[in-house]
Amino acid sequence: MLYFSDLLQYSDVFFSGLKTTVELTVLTTILGVALGTVCATVRQYGNRASQHVVSVYVELIRNTPFIVQLFFIFFGLPAIGMMLSPWQASMIALTINLGAYSTEIIRAGLASISKGQVEAAKVLGLNFRQTLTRVIFIPAFEKIYPALTSQCIIVMLGSAVISQISVQDLTYAANLVQSRNFRAFESYLVTALLYLGLSILLRFAFNALGKRLFAYRTSN
Amino acid sequence: MSLVNLHQVHKYYGDHHVLKGIDLVIKAGEVVSIIGKSGSGKSTLLRCINGLEQYQEGGITVDGKEVTTEDIQVRRLALSVGMIFQNFNLFPHMTVGENVMLAPTIVLKKSKAEAEATARAMLEKVGLAEKFDSYPEKLSGGQQQRVAIARALAMSPKVLLCDEITSALDPELVGEVLKVLEQLAKEGITLVLVTHEMNFARDVGSRVVFMHQGKVWEQGDPKTVLSNPQTDELKQFMGAVL
């Protein structure tokens, strides 16, 4: 027999977990994509040395497990005097992780912009910063938007790991509830559905944003 | 008076000697057509004039100012030298109007109203006033190229460089672009074109420059040069294009 009603008394636990997951997701998506945009720009247009620094960062993050990155930041950094709260450590780990993956994705977008576009901006007198922000970024992001949104959702789902350093996110709530009432099946099923709903919501939000940003694709 | 001045310009791509001592003086109001085989250095020459390519020896001045590839210099130069490309290079995420208004607003710091007035006037000139709010991908190649011309004109350049601007067009669309150029020539704007349109070079141009192996091989009045070529190379080239 299944007892979903046993979860009802814990609804506020689930709700506050959901809230933490959503907050962290929104924040790290914004910061991570911003970090990725800066790093991709450096990697594509920067000088040798700075390109190298970005490459090391990207490869370091993409070739190590997220949980190890998280543990290093939370348990490791205090050894050199950096004490972070679980929430802060998670925020930093998620941002750095998304930053590295999105660097590679966004760089592919930048690389897809033809040299002619840059030259056209140049002969019109735009400086490099104006060329980036006015001419390059929007078409570049349009090309890689589906890949970028998928990556953001992957990071959101991957954030379940932060319950391991006792951030009270959605997964933490599920663990807590099933340890109290032993309804593991119900508890994790409900949690899975909540993550699913969150993914769908996030995709909707990204699509709506995409429609605004890339209006030129759908208009007239 | 001379507007563009090239003196003994040499350009190398690594070991490849592309321009071998170009001397060329272009006066205000001239319409100069540069012709020649591919690989003869025509486009490179054009790109040196506005600082897109670096040259290794010699000197180029436009309106008395020296041309270098230095970023700030290229931008200053952009104010007096406009350029139109073979592949139009309109910005796909901006409407036609926004394409034309971009540089006047953010480079010349014109007000939006002023930039819009200029943009509408320039689009009127190329016959595309009604396309102000359309996106480039909705336009034909010929229309896109005319927008590119309007975009360049909105910066009121002293000289307009045209790099094979009809080469990517379907044959039936070439005429509409050439007609705009002809109109500009009549208004007295200085044009330097790399082109394969011999009829245009003959009927509208004030001078033809034939380039061969990185040198100015033969030049002069279009009718004389094209109907009575002096060198074997130009004879051969004329034979190939006609």
Rounded to two decimals, the ipTM of the complex is: 0.91
**Whether A125 and B103 lie within 8 Å, measured CB to CB:** yes
> How close, in Å, is residue A131 to chain B by CA atoms?
10
In chain A, which residues have their Cβ closer than 8 Å to the Cβ of B78? 122-125
B109 torsion bin: left (phi>0), alpha (psi -120 to 50), beta (else) = left
Residues of B with CB under 8 A from a CB of A: 50, 52, 71, 74-76, 78-79, 81-83, 85, 87, 89-95, 102-103, 106-108, 133-135, 137-138, 151-152, 155
Pull the structure tokens for residue B101: 């208004």
**Rg of chain A, C-alpha, whole Å:** 21
Instruction: Determine the pLDDT at residue A219.
Output: 61
More confidently predicted of A114 and A6: A114
pLDDT digit string, tens, across residues A150-170: 999 999 999 999 999 999 999
Domain residue ranges in chain B: 83-156
In chain A, which residues have their Cβ closer than 8 Å to the Cβ of B90? 120
The answer to whether the beta carbons of residues B212 and B42 sit under 8 Å apart is no
Q: A160-172: b or e for each residue (b if 16 or more CB lie within 10 Å)? A: bbbbbbebbbbbb
Answer positive or negative: Cα dihedral of B27, B29, B34, B35: negative
The answer to whether the beta carbons of residues A136 and A116 sit under 8 Å apart is no
CB atoms within 10 A of CB B68: 15
Please tell me which of the candidates B91, B151, B155 has its beta carbon nearest to residue A117: B91
Read off the amino acid at residue A175: N
Whether residue A220 has pLDDT greater than 70: no
**Whether A220 and B85 lie within 8 Å, measured CB to CB:** no
In chain B, which residues have their Cβ closer than 8 Å to the Cβ of A214? 93
Instruction: Determine the pLDDT at residue A167.
Output: 95
DSSP state at residue B159: E
pLDDT digit string, tens, across residues A72-122: 999 999 999 999 999 999 999 999 999 999 999 999 999 999 999 999 999
Q: How far apart are CA A159 and CA A163, in angstroms?
A: 8
Q: How far apart are CA B21 and CA B18, in angstroms?
A: 10
Mean of the per-residue pLDDT values of chain A: 94
Q: How far apart are CA A99 and CA A36, in angstroms?
A: 4
Instruction: Determine the pLDDT at residue B72.
Output: 72
Please tell me which of the candidates A120, A138, A216 has its beta carbon nearest to residue B89: A120
Q: Across the strands, what pairs with B208?
A: B33, B220
In chain A, which residues have their Cβ closer than 8 Å to the Cβ of B79? 125
DSSP H/E element including B103: helix B96-106
Task: List, run by run, the mean pLDDT of 10-residue segments along chain B (242 residues).
Answer: 90 92 93 92 92 90 84 77 95 96 94 95 94 94 95 93 92 91 92 92 92 93 90 89 74
CA atoms within a 13 Å half-sphere pointing along the CA-CB vector of B156: 6
Phi, psi of B104 (to 5 degrees): -60, -35
Laid out side by side, the sheet with B2-13 consists of: B16-27, B2-13, B57-62, B65-66
Proportion of chain A above pLDDT 90, given as a percent = 90
- Residue ranges and CATH numbers for the domains of chain A are 4-218 (1.10.3720.10)
Instruction: Determine the pLDDT at residue B68.
Output: 82
DSSP E strand boundaries for B129-206: 159-163, 190-194
The answer to whether the beta carbons of residues B145 and B165 sit under 8 Å apart is yes
> How close, in Å, is residue B80 to chain A by CA atoms?
10
**Whether B78 and A216 lie within 8 Å, measured CB to CB:** no
Long-range contacts of B220-224 (CB under 8 A, 24+ apart): B222/B33
**Whether A134 and B102 lie within 8 Å, measured CB to CB:** yes
Q: How far apart are CA B241 and CA B200, in angstroms?
A: 14
Residues of A with CB under 8 A from a CB of B: 114, 116-117, 119-128, 130, 134-135, 138-139, 142, 214, 216, 219-220
Across the A:B interface, residue pairs with CB atoms under 8 Å apart total 73
Pull the structure tokens for residue B206: 């004030």
